[in-house]
Structure 1
Amino acid sequence: MSFQWMSGKYRLLLPLMAVLVSACSTDTDWRTASRESAGLAPDPARFSEAVVHVYTADAWGWRGWFATHPWIATKQSGESRYTIYDVIGWRGGNGRPVLGIYQDVPDRHWFGAKPELLVSHTGPQAEAMIAKIRQAALSYPWKHEYKVFPGPNSNTFVAWVASQVPELNLKMPFSAIGSGYISKYKPAPEAQN
């Protein structure tokens, strides 16, 4: 194969592109990547108050260079487990909803990426938000849709909940690609009355 069509300066870009592409692959398989707790959430066995946390972590693999995956974790006063709210694209297989609401460890590594705590509320303030968060999640308009770009995706979901529960005081990070997608939502005419 001849690269005569490339001028000298572009020919130098070829090795650089090869290095960048090879660096995009990861040595870690998502099936074996860490999903352990990062130790950011209060232990429900010792902390009886209500908790509302919003986490984000770098997306898995090369996407983590520029994108994040967020989720919401709640625990009502006296509960011994956290409820997680998130959207994951692979759930959409076989017509299943991409929205997940389930009990789990709240601050798991996102397939090897340590989460960052974006928002933390505890006590009566958190308790007052939990039902609103659940209602906002259940009313999420894209439960069966997922597109990495421009959305709807996991960032769209958390931005949606934050728009419905402003007392979360959540500011999505710049890398939350898809968080602006909620501006495309137009409620049905009967919902506007």
Structure 2
Amino acid sequence: MTFLKAALLLFVLFFLLPLGVSAAVYAARGAGTDWWGADRSSAGLLPPAAASGAVVRVFAAPTVRWRGIFAVHCWIVFKPEGAPAYTRYDYTAWGEPIRMNGFAPDGRWFGQVPEVVFAADGEAAAALIPPMRAAIAGYAWRNLGDYRAWPGPNSNTFVAAVMDAVPGISLTLPPTAIGKDYPYDGRWLRPTASGTGLRLTLGGFAGITLGWVEGLEVNILGAVAGIDLRRPAIKLPGLGRIGMRGPDGTGLPPTVAAAR
């Protein structure tokens, strides 16, 4: 009984309480009001395409309406050197799941300003683009009806799969990127994207991740709580990462931020 009480207390503190706080913040800011007419214009987070070299970005922003209480939507943007425009890829529930250039590359997601969760420029970005393109072209869950908001495959599953295909990228999606742990390739036990640990997932419904870059993450019904010792921080459902961020303040891993 003592063990069960302790487990219940931890569940309340690290899962239910953070979700309650996130719901209160959502209600206070009225994030779901008039979502159909919300601003989707550029947030000014990218340099002018014509004036920059190769660029790779992964963005995340709270999802539409009440789902924004606990989840973010992630998408990929890249531009080879010399290209006159950026290319954006989303994975969505409407139309063909893989949507190219359906929105402004760094556009607000139904009024919410996105966060940069990965960035690379110049030669570092140029090396990433070919394997990213190949992973997008070969993504298995690309047919009508494949999208599932929970537990996946969803937008975050798509981004995780594409970035997993890029060697040495060491990307960690936000803990609020529900669906990132869905076994898109059928493997329930696999190395983490950084190659520094292992991820066990029970069909995306539950799981555990342990890695030097990823830290410790516990997944219960898609909600993730955890701790990062490498860059001290806690990860909470709904609230995301709280603690030390990357050298440039974006929350990027130091190895990635240094390449910018």
Instruction: Tell whether the 8 Å contact from 2:63 to 2:71 is kept in structure 1 after alignment.
Output: yes
Instruction: Tell whether the 8 Å contact from 1:76 to 1:130 is kept in structure 2 after alignment.
Output: yes
Matches within 5 A, 1:111-190: 111-144=110-143, 145-182=146-183, 185=186
Residue in 1 that maps onto 2:44: 39
Computed over aligned residues only, the root mean square deviation of the Cα atoms, in angstroms, reads 2.3
Shift of 1:30: 3.0
Shift of 1:74: 0.4
Name which one, 1 or 2, has greater alpha-carbon Rg: 1
Query: Which of the residues 64, 69, 79 maps onto 1:65?
Result: 69
TM-score of the pair, normalised by structure 1: 0.76
Residue in 1 that maps onto 2:59: 55
Unaligned runs of 5+ in 1: 1-18, 92-96, 187-193
Shift of 1:125: 1.3
| SS of corresponding position for 2:101 | strand
Instruction: Give a deviation string over 1:95-126, Cα, whole Å, max 9, x none.
Output: xx301223753110001111000011011111
Instruction: Tell whether the 8 Å contact from 2:107 to 2:114 is kept in structure 1 after alignment.
Output: yes
Instruction: Tell whether the 8 Å contact from 2:161 to 2:184 is kept in structure 1 after alignment.
Output: no
Cα distance change, pair 137–183 in 1 and its aligned pair in 2 (3 A): closer
Shift of 1:81: 0.5
Shift of 1:137: 0.8
By relative contact order (CA 8 Å, sep 6+), the higher-ranking structure is: 1
**C-alpha separation in 2, matches of 1:41 and 1:63:** 26
Q: Which moved more, 1:70-79 or 1:158-167?
A: 158-167
More helix by share: 1
Cα distance change, pair 51–104 in 1 and its aligned pair in 2 (3 A): farther
Q: Which amino acid aligns with 1:80?
A: P
**C-alpha separation in 2, matches of 1:103 and 1:122:** 23
Residue in 2 that maps onto 1:79: 83
Identity %: 42
| SS of corresponding position for 2:82 | coil
Instruction: Tell whether the 8 Å contact from 1:159 to 1:182 is kept in structure 2 after alignment.
Output: no
TM-score of the pair, normalised by structure 2: 0.57
**C-alpha separation in 1, matches of 2:185 and 2:135:** 17
Shift of 1:185: 2.1
Shift of 1:167: 3.3
